[in-house]
A and B are shown apart, each in its own frame.
Chain A
Amino acid sequence: MSAMPTSIPDVAYHPRHVELVKKLAEKTRSKKISWKASGTGLNATVSGKLEISFVRSNFLTFTKIMSGKSPWVLFTIRDAQGNQVLSIDNPILPTPMEPQVQSAVREAVSELYTAIEHSLAEEIDKAIEVVDRI
């Protein structure tokens, strides 16, 4: 798969990109991929061959409430050499020249983001269990 710069419009994304992102969501739900959260970043490594990352905003409360928008801002997949395989943005302020389109690939990435949020929330359940056992 070739490198895909972020500026390419959504229509340029291939259905295989959607398939790839959906598979990542599936593997996240089945706990085959473990994600690490740090500040504005979320990242995971798949079999040491792919590095997947999200940049997210912690300040999207207002916008999220108003539009139901997911707080991720940029999603990227890189190969082991650091080359970009896929990059999709979800800007807070789309430029007037490039209006935001809710494409299938962006929706798939939002689904993946939700799956990660759920898996990270399970860590809190585990912590509660640990405290309960005292």
Chain B
Amino acid sequence: MNITVGWSDAINVVAILVTLYSVWKMQTDQEAARVARQKLLNQQAAEEFDEMARGAASLSMMIRNQEWRQCVELSTDLRIALARAKGSWPGLLTGLEKDKLEVAAKGVQSLAARIPAQGEPDGELLQPMIEQSNLVIDVVAEIAGRLKYTEEE
């Protein structure tokens, strides 16, 4: 039995190989695009959490200095940033990190409620208020660090 391979068969084989290569290339490109998108998201989130940590550090300083007007402004900004982070990055955070974000959001909320509209807060409250803002610094900085580390992996 004779098997004859003509030009048209060769062209068909080449066409199949080109198609397979295109599919493989497309999948690789899609994966590369997905990884790049993920890195970009992580970078954005890390920067936002870094910014929040700096905001919480300023808030802690203002509480120590008992500059209540600035405390109101900073705690409001921080509340907005934390609420936005809860909505923006749930897919990037682990269960424990979601808990940390919840703690930070509730912590700033309760801090804001204790900032006096006029005069001074109860003297006994000052230390727990500083502890609360320090905890917010810690939790958001830890999340920023983990996101940054993942980004550089």
Contact = CB atoms under 8 A, between A and B. Distances in A.
A92 B113 contact: no
A41 interface: yes
Contacts of A58: 135, 138
Interface stretch (B16-24, B78-86, B101-109): B101-109
B132 A92 contact: yes
B138 A92 contact: no
Interface residues of A, number: 29
Contacts of B53: none
Given A41-B96, A53-B95, A89 B106 contact: yes
Contact of B106 (A6, A51, A53, A78): A6
A43 B110 CA distance: 25
B139 interface: yes
Contact of B138 (A39, A89, A93): A39
A95 B127 contact: no
A39 B106 contact: no
B106 A55 contact: no
B129 interface: yes
Interface string A55-99: 101111011000000000110101000100001010111111100
Given A53-B99, A58-B135, 14 more contacts: A6-B106, A40-B135, A53-B95, A53-B96, A55-B103, A58-B138, A60-B131, A63-B127, A73-B107, A89-B103, A92-B128, A93-B107, A93-B114, A95-B110
26 contacts: A39-B142, A40-B139, A41-B142, A43-B95, A53-B95, A53-B96, A55-B103, A55-B139, A57-B135, A59-B131, A62-B127, A62-B128, A73-B103, A74-B99, A76-B95, A87-B99, A89-B106, A91-B106, A92-B107, A92-B132, A93-B128, A93-B129, A93-B132, A95-B113, A96-B113, A96-B114
Interface of A: 6, 38-41, 43, 51, 53, 55, 57-60, 62-63, 73-74, 76, 78, 82, 87, 89, 91-97
